[in-house]
Structure 1
Amino acid sequence: MKSEQTPKVVQIEDQNHWPQVEFEAGNDDYSFTGTVGKDEKEERKESVKEQKNWKRWLGNLQTVFFWNRSVNTDEENAKEKKTAASIQHYARCDSKELLCQLKTNILGITSDEAVHRLACNGRNDVPAIKPIPWYTMLMTAILHPFNILLMTMGIISVAVPGQGPDMMIFVSVMVVISTAIRFSQEHQSQHTFHSMRNMVATTTRVGRVIDGTSTEVEIPSNELVVGDILRLCVGSILPADVRLLISKNLSVSQSTLTGEYLPVEKSAVSSKATVPTLDTANVCFMSTSIVSGTATAVVIGTGQNTYISTVYSMLNSKAIASASSSFDIGVKKVAYLLLAFGCVMVPIIVVLNGFTTHDFEGAAFFGVSVLVGLTPEMLPMILNANLAKAAVDMAKCKVIVRKAEAIQTMGAVNILCSDKTGTLTKDEIVLVSYLDSDMKMNENVLRNGYYNSYFSKAFHNSMDSAIFCKASELQMDSHKTQYSLVEEIPFDFNNRRVSVILQVPGGKNRLICKGAVEEVVSICTKVRRFTAETDWNDADLVEDERERLIQECQKLNCEGYRVLAVASKSVATVTDQNLDEVSFAGNDDHGLTFIGFLTFLDPPKTDCAQAISDFATYNVEVKVLTGDNLEVSTKICNDVGVSTINTTTGPKLSLMSPEEFEQTVLRCSLFAKLTPLQKLEIVNCLKHNGNTVAFLGDGINDALALRSSDCGVSVEGATQMAQDAADLILLEKNLTVVTKAMIRGRITYANTIKYIKMAASSNFGNVFSMLIASAWLPFQPMQATQILTQNLLYDFSQIAIPWDNVDPEFLIEPHTWSAKGIFKFMIFFGPLSSVFDIYTFMVQFYFFKWQGNSSDPVEAALQISKFQTGWFNEGLITQTLIVHMIRTQKIPFFQRWPSWQLLLGTGIIIVIGLAIPYTPLGTNVLQMSSLPWLYYPFLILANVGYFTVTQLMKQLYMHFFGEWL
């Protein structure tokens, strides 16, 4: 989007400072202009920080107790713009001016000056994301919203006069179990992740002046300083940002930083033209690598002043780190809904029960019992057990789950943003086709290209390797011994082609040229027409034919292919008599015959198209965000099934207003030539519009988007920064595993929401029944200890829920936590159970005459005990079995069966519940009584009626709301 700041160059005269590009004061609170000393800068920064402390404190408070969905990176954006402007400034300087500004020379700086600069500017370190300390991980697990909710209930229960610690102990056990499950899973995942990291200390050779003599010394890379002179060659990994001073045929791989799958050409020529920072031709960036050529360069940025450090800075910023995922927000909303519901309902019950029984102290204790009963005590444990099981299942698929919630979040994802290079593609160049002038596949074209690459003494790049691979596949390399190299015309960036002269047995020598299409076609005077594999004729290359060949190349480029042209001509055989003449003629690589095109591509992974199809099946929209060019990206997207109807590029996005930007992001499915910051902005925009966003990437340019997304997915071979920012790490580059993670996440959500909706609606029904009973009965319908026992048995029956089956229909759509949906479910189904509770009350009160109004106190107590026992049994059985009605939108047992674990668990608990009144625990501790056998037909009728009506209401609910779980 449009920048509102204008950079200007500030010459700082203090010798302890180096020229930097600053922004004028305005929106950027940390910007300064003019000659400013270090102390004054620090004072101003501290002043600004003090003014913002209270805002940050409020922001942290909101993040802990509420949520922070938006990400404000203004401060980090300003740093990125400042660094980019500084790089552009150095790029525009000529070499002499540049060395003068940096107070260095082509021989390097002195050792004493290097020590001084290192002390002033710090080491050349870019801090990685540090592992989360175990104690922070433990506190995060303890302060889960559901744990806080349960502990609040426990503290309230202890505060009631005369109440023992039973409730507090019960909820504390639930909190300890759930915390232990979550902490152990995340701690193990982090240990596994960091144990596979291989940290290697690197060194760099620099030019230094020692005792007045220039020499090359090897130093640790983190001791580089601005002004150091580097000699770059093939294989060099840039340890800092550098400006080229001298270069020869230099190609640099920037794929991890920009996403471009092919190396880019670099040269030392300064340019006044304004281009995107990462496209600056005479600047190489930290973490990129030299593919071909040599160069001499001067360091212009180290440590915190490199371009890559701006990505790290944003990655470690509080704005991104504190952003809440959809999972966090959903969990907090549900917790607050349950807490608010209890705070409203329980006081009403206490008042009604107190006026009815005239025992307000007992009513208060009863109300607290109801409050605890209203809370799904097992929710934290069920949730974390679900997540732990999901993590174990994903580990079998070779996936490291760094954050437990990541699996459930994957189930809620409705938009998957993916990088292209190395993620959708193999990140390796392959030769796709070898086309003659009639655009037909012809092995003669490949054969000539192969001989050119094989006999060239220059460094073989990725396209040469692709040619070798294809030639070997077609067994063309068996004839190369018949030829020998006579002379080579090397590649340079002006001619953009390489030619070799080969000695051919029994005939004239041949010159074979390979290079950029326009440059090769421009030196061709003939074109070869093939009539058969071994039969051809050469025709004059007229202007119309030349234009046609150029247009054919442009079509291939538009389809995403990188194209090279191949041409040749015969040259005289070398003898002693004509050596000078032939050598002179051989160096003239003009007057060639055009043979054909070689097309290259970084192809999609073999499983990519199937994975994209699976994402569509499971209603996940795929958007591709890449730093590569639009033509190549369009080709790959078309091949794997990603829509390319609406596309755009980073430069176009940068010119849009916020409104246009948002509309474009929502509409487009392919974004090319993006900067790391633009990827971040796109992800944030999608999240801001209510989407749950996952990001799949492996490069430095993906790290910001990985961290900001609801769930970041990377691979083991990814850059360190990408792995640090991800929530899931794929140990194999298999995209189908991402689909498995989504399905596993939806299963986890389904089995968690089953418990929540079932427990919330059942508990609400119990509260509703309590309201009616409190207003009607002259005694408590159930004792507090009986309520807790019933809840305990019911909760144990639900332990097997994480192992339950899930309807295949449910897995087709993504699902997010919805407090509104849970509230609707509670209101719709909660009172339904109260209808059968009232039926049970009436049967017990009027048919069995358990009214507690006998003149004999012992008989009255027995009647009350039987009444409470009867409702205990009815409530336990309906609560326990209702999971089978809620777990599926189909008819349970007829159309969908539960897992054997859940079936066995519910069966055992029902048997235990029915047996308790006949045991010492029931009669002596819980004050229950045995029931007459005539009671049980009424109990069966109540349960059959409840299940029948629930199934009918289920169909009605799905008709009105279009959903079930």
Structure 2
Amino acid sequence: MRGKNRDLFWHPAGYLSFNGPGENMTTHGSEEEHKIGIFQYASLSLENLQELFHTSLPEGLSQENAGASLQRDGLNEISATQVHWWEIAIRQFKSPFIYLLLVAAVIVYAIGEHVDAGIIVGFVFINAALGFYQEYKSEQSLRALQQFISPRSRVKRDNNWQVIDSRNLVKGDIISLVTGDAIPADLRVIHTNHLIVNETTLTGESVPVLKDADILPSVPKNIYESHNLLFSGTSVVEGEATALVLETGERTTMGRIAKLTVETTKESEFSKGISSFSSFILRMILITLVFIFLANLVIKGENADVFELVVFCIALVVSVVPEALPVVTTVSLSRGALQLAKHEVIVKRLTAIEDIGSIEVLCSDKTGTLTENSLSATDYSPDAHPALLSYAALTVAQTLEKTEPFDIAIEKEAADWQVLPDNGSKRLMELPFDPVRRRNAVLIRNEKETFMIVRGAPEVIIGLSSLLNSEKEGIEKWISDKGKAGERTIAIAKRTFPGEKETIIPEDEQDLQFLGVMAFADPIKPSTYHAVEKARELGVAIKIITGDSPEVAGAVGVKIGLLDDPSMVLTGSVLQELPENDRAEAITRHAVIARVTPEQKYDIIKTLQRSFTVGFLGEGINDAPALKLAGVSMVVESAADIAREAADIILLQKNLEVIMDGIESGRGVFANSVKYLKATLASNFGHFYAIAIGSMFISFLPMLPIQILLVNLLSDFPMISIATDTVDKNEVKKPRKYEVREIMLVATLLGVVVTVFDLMFFAFFMHEGDKILQTNWFVGSILTELVFLFSIRTKLPCYQAERPSGYVILLTAVAALATVLLPYTVIGEKLFHFYPPSAMHLGIIFSLVAAFFVCSELVKHMYYRYTG
């Protein structure tokens, strides 16, 4: 900062207006501006930093000042508000559907049906236990994040180097970093020696980044431009550095990710759907029961048996509650999980099986998911030297384990073409890669000559080589074409020295013999193409959200068919500058968004979820907040622990096609759950209204409470098997959600058909006496419900639908046989007060059941025809 220019930059206490060295500073901001402010340090001089942090760059902080800072700012630990286990446990019971089941259990127990009450309570606690386990595991995210804070650091205090716990680091500390170190806080580089840092955990960028101590001419906009800043959670791949601690604890980059991840909660589409229709049913039942109870009292007057009427109403309540829903959904979800397990997919949250079917937008990282996450040589420039690959191989680092992607790719290419190293060659010296020079050089001596190989950015190498203008134009056009295709390029050149030269200096890198250019790409997985095509068929929009460059991301988008033009890529910095109102439109419109930060990924998912059900596939620490937020979160098996903890589904194969199979399975599970809801609600409400109406026209109960409960049990027995049913192909073509209005409309419409035919049973047998009416209506009610299942299970005419599963056919047959035979048994007569139906009565029952099935098919056909 020069002279008296008033610049605004971040200080631990807020934004400061700085008038120059030694002048007064005034706080202007708040920590809400931190994610912008951290980058302000990149453009400050060391003198300004020294004054801001009250430290001395050669000597470091004093122990006294460090202690005061630790007291003020707290430990360098990742901490965030975590949910206690008992809060998670209580949350499992906060649902209208759970209230409904618990009320039903209490009522059933009160009237003496202890076994039924125990079964209902068992369903509730099994569901609660599963939900608790899944959510509790998800809340362990913080522990996974804490491993990325290095436990010990070398710090300079009172001009002496010492090793301390990293949790005791404070702003203003000077620390030392070497190869293999995890970076323990957000830092500004003071001095480096060929420092290469792996920032994949934050950016998703697969290529390690070279860092330097140079002051940046302007404030960088993001992590990618911050060449002199180091971020917590990343690691040193090579080299060493001395750095100044800028931020610690939850104010660091990793701390913000922790806060977003741990404190983000979500409600699954399944839970939202169940809660909506449960609330509706609860209100509907209470209103109707009050009306029925009062109507019976008014109509029957003094003849009304209040106690019997109360028990009767209680039984009606239980008859309407879809208490088998937990079993149906659990069986459906478990079968879906087993199907996915065959494709090497692990489901952590069971309800995610159903949620995955509702995905409308699938957001995916690029590296390792759509691509192979490994550079490979793809092409050589025209007229390249025949021995170009041999010379390139000489520039590969002579380390046992290669970390630089270009080194790995060149070594593999040489092995594939059987280009063997020259054992007669001796490496005399190396000039490491320099971000200013943008190249590295190696001095080699063999039996014939001493020569230098230079490898680096093509435009730099071309400028140092003796090429004709016509040759330059051809090579530059080839490089430009490769860049548009999303490929990276490096150039190789050579210089031969006379005599016995032992060392080289940067000034020797001139008058080079240009050997050629190599192009590299991260290959797209073959499965990606199939996955994108299947996504179109399933009506799922795919979006690439990546930390990689817009050129590479755009090229991938074009290759897999998401983009027509590789330039149609939205970048995180451009998105950040858009007005709030325009961001949602830009995010929805663009299929590829590149150079995004973890916070931007989170915001993108949050924005999309306002209008769509979003699935997100990631693998890095930078993906954790977005994974925790997304409706369905998926990671690959090799993902960071924090990402695995935040995810609902883990893919053992890095294959997008597996997700498409999962979406298809999820839609099948959803379709079967909706079948059950429509079938049970239409049947239950149909019987409910018919019995309630009938009770007002006769002096006795049209069906005894114990008989009503038995209807519920025998009809639910085969309905549970709907979880195993086959699904029509058109049911999986589009994303599905729990539409309470649509489910209730179908259930109400077909429920009216059930009510009409129930009242026909009532009309035929009401004058035959109480036991005959109760028995025949019981048999007719169950048989209509069983055949109704075969109508409601498909939107097509029943003869055009997929064949029902074997379990549906078998259990329906068993239930029907038990229903018809039970009145003829001693148990039926003594326990349930049945009277054996005559042959004529059975004929009437079977005729009404057949007529009911035809009528329900006609009504269903008309409904779907006119509503689409």
TM-score, normalised to structure 2, is: 0.90
Which of 428, 431, 436 matches 2:377? Answer: 431
Pair 490,308 (structure 1): closer, same or farther in 2 beyond 3 Å = closer
Does the residue aligned with 1:433 lie in a helix, a strand or coil? strand
Map 1:858-877; keep pairs closer than 5 Å: 863-877=769-783
Instruction: Answer yes or no: is 1:293 the counterpart of 2:239.
Output: yes
How far does residue 463 in structure 1 lie from its aligned partner after superposition?
0.7
* Residues in 1 aligned to 2:279 and 2:529: alpha-carbon distance in whole angstroms: 42
For 2:351 and 2:357, how far apart are their aligned partners in 1? 10
1:631 aligns with 2:551: yes
Q: Does 1:21 align with 2:14?
A: yes
Aligned-partner SS, 1:870: helix
2:606 is the counterpart of 1:684: yes
- Name the CA distance, whole Å, in 1 between partners of 2:699 and 2:764: 16
1:739 has 2:660 as partner: yes
1:722 matched to 2:722? The reply is no
CA contact (8 A) 1:171 1:377 kept: no
CA contact (8 A) 1:757 1:822 kept: yes
Going from structure 1 to structure 2, the CA distance change for 1:138 and 1:830 (only over 3 Å counts) comes to: same
Q: 2:535 aligns with which of 615, 619, 623?
A: 615
- In structure 2, the CA distance between the partners of 1:325 and 1:198, relative to structure 1 (3 Å rule), is closer
Q: Verify the 8 A CA contact 2:794 2:801 in the aligned structure 1.
A: no
Q: CA deviation at 1:458?
A: 13
- TM-aligned CA distance change 1:912 to 1:193, over 3 Å: farther
Amino acid at match of 1:21: G
Contact 1:7 1:82 in 2 (8 A): no
- Residues 327 and 188 of structure 1: CA distance in aligned 2, closer, same or farther (over 3 Å): closer
For residue 50 of structure 2, what is the amino acid of its counterpart? L
CA 1:433–1:770 in 2, change beyond 3 Å: closer, same or farther? same
Counterpart residue identity of residue 594, structure 1 = F
The aligned residue for residue 834 of structure 2 is: 928
- SS of residue matched to 2:357: helix
1:204 has 2:156 as partner = no
| 1:585–1:387 CA distance, 2 compared to 1 (3 A) | closer
Q: Quick one: which of 148, 159, 173 aligns to 1:228?
A: 173
**CA displacement at 1:409 relative to structure 2:** 0.8
Q: Is 1:314–2:260 an aligned residue pair? A: yes
Report how far residue 34 of structure 1 moved. 5.9
Q: Structure 1 335/167 Cα, relative in aligned 2: closer, same or farther at 3 Å?
A: farther
Cα distance in structure 1, aligned partners of 2:753 and 2:126? 36
The offset of 1:632, in angstroms, is: 0.7
In structure 2, the partner of 1:519 is: 460
Instruction: Give the Å deviation of 1:198.
Output: 11
2:156 & 2:397 partners in 1: Cα distance?
A: 39
Contact in 2 for aligned 1:626/1:674 (Cα 8 Å): yes
Q: CA deviation digits over 1:174-210, x for unaligned, max 9?
A: 132242155147638967997997986844341334x
Distance 1:116 1:868 in 2: 84
Corresponding position: 1:461 with 2:413: no
Tell me what 1:449 maps to. 392
For residues 806-862 of structure 1, the C-alpha deviation after alignment (integer angstroms, 9 at most, x for no partner) is 2233122221111011111122211112232233233324xxx51xxxxxxxxxxxx
Larger mean Cα displacement after TM superposition, 381-390 or 451-460:
451-460
Q: Percent identity?
A: 27
Number of the residue aligned with 1:406: 352
Q: How far did 1:707 drift?
A: 1.6
Residue 273 of structure 2 is matched in structure 1 by 330
Rounded Cα–Cα distance in structure 1 between residues aligned with 2:80 and 2:577: 32
User: What residue in structure 1 maps to residue 579 of structure 2?
Assistant: 657
| Secondary structure at 2:578 match in 1 | coil
In the superposition, relative to structure 1, how do residues 571 and 647 fare at CA in structure 2: closer, same or farther (>3 Å)? same
CA positional deviation for 1:777: 3.9
**2:251 counterpart residue number:** 305
Match of 1:91 in 2: 42
Other structure's SS at 1:524 match: coil
In the superposition, relative to structure 1, how do residues 458 and 841 fare at CA in structure 2: closer, same or farther (>3 Å)?
A: closer
Tell me the alpha carbon deviations over residues 867-907 of structure 1, each in whole angstroms, 9 at most, x when there is no partner.
11001000011112322222223454775322222222222
Give the Cα separation in 2 of the matches to 1:833 and 1:793: 17
C-alpha separation in 2, matches of 1:630 and 1:443? 33
State the 1:956 CA deviation: 1.8
2:119 paired residue among 163, 173, 184: 173
Backbone CA RMSD of aligned residues? 3.3
Counterpart-to-counterpart distance in 1, 2:831 and 2:131: 38
The amino acid across from 1:826 in the alignment is A
State the alpha-carbon separation in 1 of the partners of residues 707 and 43 from structure 2: 82
Query: CA 1:276–1:434 in structure 2 vs 1: closer, same or farther (change >3 Å)?
Result: same
C-alpha contact 1:793 1:909 (8 A) present in aligned 2: yes
One-letter identity of the residue aligned with 1:840: F
Instruction: Work out the CA distance in 1 between the residues paired with 2:296 and 2:83.
Output: 53
Amino acid corresponding to residue 911 of structure 1 in structure 2:
L
Alignment of 1:533-548 (within 5 A): 541-542=468-469, 544-548=470-474
| Correspondences of 1:120-519 after superposition (within 5 Å) | 120-127=72-79, 133=85, 135-154=86-105, 157=107, 164-166=110-112, 170-171=116-117, 173-184=119-130, 187=133, 202-209=150-157, 214-215=160-161, 217-278=162-223, 279-317=225-263, 320-321=264-265, 323-358=266-301, 359=304, 361=306, 362-437=308-383, 444-453=387-396, 461-477=404-420, 479-505=421-447, 507-519=448-460
- Render the CA deviation track for 1:726-759: whole Å, top value 9, x for unaligned: 2223344333332233233222212211111001
Aligned partner letter, 2:456: G
2:795 corresponds to 1:889:
yes
1:497/1:185 Cα in 2 relative to 1: closer, same or farther (>3 Å)?
A: same
1:246 to partner: Cα distance: 0.9
Q: CA deviation at 1:459?
A: 8.1
Matched, 1:750 2:671: yes
Return 5+ residue gaps in structure 2 as ranges. Answer: 1-5, 18-24
CA contact (8 A) 1:455 1:500 kept: no
After superposition, the Cα gap between the structure-2 partners of 1:202 and 1:658, relative to the gap in structure 1 and judged at 3 Å, is closer
Structure 1 position 866, deviation (Å): 0.4
Instruction: Work out the CA distance in 1 between the residues paired with 2:98 and 2:400.
Output: 68
User: CA distance change for structure 1 residues 181 and 775 in 2, over 3 Å: closer, same or farther?
Assistant: closer
Give the Cα separation in 1 of the matches to 2:136 and 2:805.
Answer: 32
Q: Deviations over 1:104-151 (max 9, x none)?
A: 432433455545543443222113796873x44543333343111222
Cα deviation, residue 565, structure 1: 0.9
Note if contact 2:598-2:622 (Cα within 8 Å) is conserved in structure 1: yes
User: Which is further off, 736-745 or 747-756?
Assistant: 736-745
Q: How many equivalent residue pairs?
A: 847
Q: Separation in 2 of the partners of 1:107 and 1:603?
A: 49
Matched residue of 1:525: which SS?
A: coil
Amino acid at match of 1:552: W
State which drifts further: 124-133 or 298-307: 124-133
Cα deviation for residue 723 of structure 1 reads 2.4
388-397 or 142-151, larger mean C-alpha shift:
388-397
Q: In the TM superposition, what whole-angstrom CA distance separates every residue of 1:65-99 from its partner, at most 9, and x where no partner exists?
A: xxxxxxxxxxxx974522531x2343232123323
Equivalent-residue separation in structure 1 for 2:362 and 2:443 (angstroms): 51
Aligned 8 A contact 2:111 2:311 in 1: no
Question: 2:691 touches 2:703 (CA, 8 Å); kept in 1?
Answer: no
Report if aligned partners of 2:429, 2:443 keep a CA contact under 8 Å in 1: yes
Residue identity matched to 2:802: R
Consecutive unaligned residues in structure 1, runs of 5 or more: 1-5, 12-18, 25-32, 37-76, 527-540, 851-862
SS in 1 for 2:220: coil
**Hey, what does 2:517 align to over in structure 1?**
597
CA contact (8 A) 1:514 1:520 kept: yes
Structure 2 CA distance for partners of 1:840 and 1:656, relative to 1, 3 Å: same
Match of 1:794 among 694, 712, 715: 715
TM-score (norm 1): 0.81
CA distance in 1, matches of 2:342, 2:268: 26
Equivalent-residue separation in structure 1 for 2:31 and 2:481 (angstroms): 41
Query: In the superposition, relative to structure 1, how do residues 600 and 618 fare at CA in structure 2: closer, same or farther (>3 Å)?
Result: same
> Conserved in 2, the CA contact under 8 Å of 1:142 and 1:179?
no
SS at match of 1:901: helix
Q: Distance in 1 between matches of 2:155 and 2:128?
A: 53
> C-alpha displacement at 1:397, in angstroms?
4.3
